[in-house]
Chains A and B, each alone.
Chain A
Amino acid sequence: MAKLLYFAWVRQKIGKSAEELALPEGVTTTGELIEELAKRGPGYAAAFRNPGSVRCAINQEHKAFDTVIKDTDEIAFFPPVTGG
């Protein structure tokens, strides 16, 4: 099972901060995972409506959407960061 984490407005729109998910058949990258997640309900659809406004990290490292993912990864989705 992959561990999915959501932060900031991605978390608010989806309505939860974390969940476990078996990667759906045919999903090999975070970009493909986003497309699948967007079909899971209105909250998910709202969070991923504009994928260009979302960033991701795999196993706590920033990665691009074409990065290959595994069923054991921790995959986080969040808006561009605003610390400092």
Chain B
Amino acid sequence: MSTDEVRIQADDFDPGVETKALTRGRKDIGAVVTFIGVVRGDDELKSMHLEHYPAMTAREIESHIVKAKQRWPVIAARVVHRIGELCPGENIVFVGVASAHRQAAFEAADFLMDYLKTNAPFWKFEERGEGGNWVRARGEDDDALKRWR
């Protein structure tokens, strides 16, 4: 049976494997929505280093899955987030939501991503040509959260 899962890992993930795990052993799922975040490059970005708060991260994301399930009829949800050194073009996050119907799956996936961006304790350090910098939080991400209040 599919169950909820949250994983934090340095290794890449296989979106096909993650997606299949969402429906395994069930016949009541009619919609699976998945989101994959990718490291976006530019002319100077060499790589990104992702740091997190191990004791808190999975717990925080799991609490948002609980909230999503209180709001939509979600059957299973799965979040995989990578940490460590990542280069442009590499996968960074997978969010998948399974439900009976598409609307709940779309909205719950969107909700989970918005909460992950603004609450999950990850920090990105960008390695650039000369030195590097910590990525600054974006106001747009906080604004996106207001849609769910």
Most chain A CB within 10 A, of B50, B56, B117, B124, is at B56
List the B side residues contacting A37 at CB < 8 Å. none
The answer to whether A82 and B124 have CB atoms under 8 Å apart is: yes
The answer to whether B136 and A82 have CB atoms under 8 Å apart is: yes
The answer to whether A83 and B50 have CB atoms under 8 Å apart is: yes
The answer to whether B120 and A7 have CB atoms under 8 Å apart is: no
The answer to whether B53 and A7 have CB atoms under 8 Å apart is: yes
From A74, which residue of chain B is reached at the shortest CB distance? B55
Q: How many residues of A contact B (CB 8 A)?
A: 17
List the A side residues contacting B116 at CB < 8 Å. 83-84
CB of B134 closer than 8 Å to a CB of A = yes
Interface residues on B, range: 20 to 34
Identify which of residues 27-84 in chain A touch chain B, using a CB-to-CB cut-off of 8 Å: 57, 60-62, 74, 76, 78-84
Taking a contact as CB atoms closer than 8 A, the residue among B59, B60, B137 that contacts A82 in the complex is B137
List the A side residues contacting B124 at CB < 8 Å. 82-83
Docked complex Cα distance between A57 and B63 (Å): 15
CB of B121 closer than 8 Å to a CB of A = yes
CB of A5 closer than 8 Å to a CB of B = yes
List the A side residues contacting B93 at CB < 8 Å. 83-84
Docked complex Cα distance between A6 and B78 (Å): 28
The answer to whether B53 and A57 have CB atoms under 8 Å apart is: yes
From A12, which residue of chain B is reached at the shortest CB distance? B134
Measured CB to CB, the residues of A under 8 A from B are 5, 7-9, 57, 60-62, 74, 76, 78-84
